[in-house]
Chains A and B, each alone.
Chain A
Amino acid sequence: MKNLFWRIQKNNYCITVFFLALATLLAFLFAHIIPGNSPNISLIYILALILIARHTDGYRFGIFAAVFCVISVNYCFTYPYFKLNFTLTGYPITFLGMLTIAIITSATTTRLKQQAFIIAEREKSLMEADKEKMKANLLRAISHDLRTPLTSIIGAASSYTENSEVLSEEEKQDLVSQINDDANWLLNMVENLLSVTRIQNDSSKISTSLEVVEEVVSEAVQRLRKRIPYAQIQVSIPEAFLMVPMDPLLIEQVIINLLENAIIHSESTKPIDLVVTDDSSQVTFHVIDYGKGLKPESIPSLFDGQAYSVSSDSRRGMGIGLSICKTIIQAHNGTITAFNHDDGAEFCFSLPKEAVTNES
């Protein structure tokens, strides 16, 4: 029904014809039931006129309708019937009145529509600008973050090839393992960026599938162990079988980012806890470390992608990592938070159990 009306609204001609026909029909009915009641008939036409002017674009239809109304009232419903007679006293006033109503209503509607359009445009451009700003920020942060490990890789590689006869075996080993470290770090960064393109490819809609929580968690922990062999992680998940709609690779990336963050920034050798809790509407993943905790002043802006310069060793900053985590979790309609507990920091994110796209 709504759809039908909308389609009618799109077509100005249809509207005009529809309302005029309706008004004429009603007028004839009226004239048939109560003869000689021309003021009411005029009222019906005025109503039709206002509706037409309100629902069509521009002035043309309103003016046409006004002329039609005047002629129709004159021709059909005033004495002498079925004859045009503009010599009746006060007729020009009726005509002018109708025309004025049509023009005023049309003008108001047109202006309203124009304003709505302008506002929508402005909002769109504002959003675009915001997006552009975010992109520029991300790019700046990325190039900053990528340059440092690249410099170190190139430096290490060139010192290996240029000074290979002076360097001891141990120093060579050192250089190579440093290259390895940096390359791995770069890889993680690139994978983070790839996950962002995975989100933005399809206008920020992600394709979710039902995934088993323990499988995603175990895969994330394994991949992290492969990269950081000394990582100590204690995993505990609920005994129950849990399936949550998600993009498994993205969630895996979030878990890896949070775990790596905890390992590198907690400055503690105590094992990290990865705890999954389950309540009726959502599943929550907690990454708890027992280190120095977060700086209270940095907590509000932690996920904005600007926290990376706080740490002295800015390469290890997780600014981009955390902002990507936030993007991913938001795309899943979930929430991500960070806070200090008594003995360190805790990051947790929740995923809703219901499917992300419910309406379709």
Chain B
Amino acid sequence: MNHKFSILIIEDELHILNFMRKVLTGHDYKVLSASSGKTGLDLISSQCPDLILLDLGLPDMDGVEIIQKVREWSSCPIIVISARTSEQEKVLALDLGADDYITKPFGTSELLARIRTSLRHSNKMNTDSPLFIKPYHAKDLTIDFSKRLITLNGEEIHLTPIEYKIVACLAKNSGKVVTYSAIMLDVWGPYSDTDNKILRVNMANIRRKLESNPAEPTYIYTELGVGYRMKEDESDS
């Protein structure tokens, strides 16, 4: 690859920064780093990185603020790094425009997978024409968006229109977490109820149709308190 992707890490813990820098340089990314929110913002506007890894707990400013500032002028993918117990924070960051999050502590493979997914989605936005959407394919599941056809092991799966919309919304963002509110907005529109129970019920029905054991899902994972994540699309990676 002649063009290296550049990744900006905004993280104030030196050890974590070092570890991420080693991993990412080892995997052929160009790494920039900032240990405070202010230098981070400066680097974003001067270097225009391809992806930002952002720790929410920074000493000088709230990470959420950075997301808002960046989103004013750039659609550069942002992956938020956060602690497990603060699901409220994650939801807020995602709803403000972060692309995905990764929970501390994380392994290298998880980090790399998240980065790949986010970069791929941002590339798609730049190049794909909206008229043609490639079918989603993972394991035995295929979704043909143009025919609105879902097949599992070659057999057609019958979903209600709402269920199809939910699955399509997740599949188009496959590999990324999609918050409850984002799905609600996509499927039921802006005037939908704030209570997401209807989504949960529909999801349970979808799982009963798609998964062999709904308690051990292979396609649609739950991110407790945040949303859902669909298995990464395997067709174009």
Contacts and interface: CB of A to CB of B under 8 A. Distances in A.
Interface of A: 187, 191, 194, 198, 210-212, 214-219, 221-222, 235-237, 239, 241, 243, 248-249, 252, 274, 276
A236 B215 contact: yes
B204 A235 contact: no
B221 interface: yes
A216 B214 CA distance: 11
Nearest to A211: B224
Contact of A221 (B201, B207, B215): B215
A248 B197 contact: no
Size category of the B interface is 20 to 34
Contacts of A248: 224-225
A249 B215 contact: no
Contact of A218 (B84, B197, B217): B217
B85 A215 contact: no
A228 B217 CA distance: 18
Contact of B207 (A211, A214, A249): A214
B200 interface: yes
B216 interface: yes
Contacts of B222: 212, 215-216, 218-219
Contacts of A241: 201, 204-205
6 nearest A-B pairs in the assembled complex, by CB-CB distance = A215-B222, A235-B215, A241-B204, A248-B224, A237-B215, A214-B215
Contacts of A214: 204, 207, 214-215
A252 B85 CA distance: 12
Given A212-B200, A212-B204, A219 B215 contact: no
Given A191-B84, A249-B87, A237 B221 contact: no
Nearest to B222: A215
A279 B54 CA distance: 45
A249 B197 contact: no
A218 B200 CA distance: 14
Contacts of A219: 221-224
Nearest to A213: B215
B105 interface: yes
Contacts of B204: 212, 214, 241
B221 A218 contact: yes
B127 interface: no
B29 to A, nearest CB: 24
Interface string B192-235: 00000100110111011000011111000111110000000000
A235 B218 CA distance: 14
B221 A249 contact: no
A198 B207 CA distance: 31
B225 A235 contact: no
A124 B125 CA distance: 63
A136 to B, nearest CB: 25
A219 B221 CA distance: 8
Interface string B44-87: 00000000000000000000000000000000000000001101
Nearest to B224: A248
A322 B105 CA distance: 23
Interface string B147-180: 0000000000000000000000000000000000
B224 A187 contact: no
Chain A CB count within 10 A is highest, among B84, B201, B205, B224, for B224
Contact of A215 (B105, B208, B224): B224
A243 B214 CA distance: 14
Given A212-B204, A216-B222, A235-B215, 9 more contacts: A212-B222, A216-B224, A217-B215, A218-B216, A218-B221, A222-B221, A235-B213, A239-B208, A249-B224
A236 B216 CA distance: 9
B117 to A, nearest CB: 18
Contact of B197 (A217, A243, A276): A243
A212 B197 CA distance: 9
A241 B206 CA distance: 12
B160 to A, nearest CB: 15
B224 A252 contact: yes
A235 B85 contact: no
B58 to A, nearest CB: 21
30 contacts: A187-B105, A194-B85, A210-B197, A211-B224, A212-B200, A212-B203, A212-B204, A212-B222, A214-B204, A214-B207, A215-B203, A215-B224, A216-B222, A216-B224, A217-B215, A218-B215, A218-B217, A218-B221, A218-B222, A219-B223, A219-B224, A221-B215, A235-B213, A235-B215, A239-B208, A241-B201, A243-B200, A249-B85, A249-B87, A276-B215
Nearest to A220: B224
Contacts of A210: 197
A353 to B, nearest CB: 15
Contacts of A236: 213, 215
A176 to B, nearest CB: 13
Contacts of B213: 235-236
Contacts of B214: 214, 218, 237
Chain B CB count within 10 A is highest, among A214, A219, A276, for A214
A221 B225 CA distance: 16
